[in-house]
Each structure stands twice: as C-alpha cells, then as structure tokens.
Amino acid sequence: MSYLLILLLLLVCMALLDARWKLFLFARPGPAAAVLLLGTVFFLAWDISALAAGIFLHRQSPLMTGVMLGPGLPLEEAFFLLFLCYQTMILFTGAVRLLRLRERLAGGRGPQ
C-alpha cells in the first residue's frame, strides 16, 4: 500500500507543478489527457507483452496492495506508468519553455 500512496503523492506533486506553471494538463486539458491516456496504455501493452514473454516478473511485496490488473500486473504498475508519462511531459514542456525564454533573452543582446 505504501508504494501506491507514494505514487499518488508524486502525481499530486506533478499536478501542482503543472497547475502553477500551466505546462501540460492545465495548459491544454483535452489533448494532454489524450496523450497521457495513450502513453499509459502503450506502456501497459508493453508490460503485458513483456510479462507474456517472461521478460518481466512480478514478486509479492508488503509495500504493494496485492491488487492485480492481470496476471503479474499489479495495480501500482498502472499508476507508475501514468506518473512516468506525466513526469515526462512536464519535463518536456518545461524544457521547451525554458529554451524559448532563453532564446528571447538572448535575442535582445548584440553579438558578443
């Protein structure tokens, strides 16, 4: 259960950063939600394929809820993948914003 609570806390932290700077979901909610959904589904499909091929294995842990979405696929994995996709988009949009700001600031200077 601890792992799920940590993941939920991290998702809240990402949402707070997003809300403050309007980087992703708070900038364009519809397209951003679609990207998060598609990314999470893509990585869940990847995990399912890897589980079927015997590449990934699930082991019980007292830190997890024990709720399984499928054979070898714990509930926490879906939240981890959602967090991973959200974090990636926050980092990407934040980096793009910083690079644009840097270009604007550098554009006002003459050659050095």
pLDDT digits (tens, 9 = 90+) for 6-56: 999 999 999 999 999 999 999 999 999 999 999 999 999 999 999 999 998
Q: CA 72, CA 15: separation in Å to the nearest integer?
A: 29
- Read off the DSSP letter of residue 58: -
CA distances for 73 relative to 41, 60, 64, 112, angstroms: 13, 11, 12, 56
Q: CA 82, CA 10: separation in Å to the nearest integer?
A: 11
End-to-end CA, the chain: 56
Domain ranges across the chain: 2-103
pTM: 0.91
**Angle 61-65-67 from CA coordinates, rounded to 5°:** 110
pLDDT at 1 over 80: yes
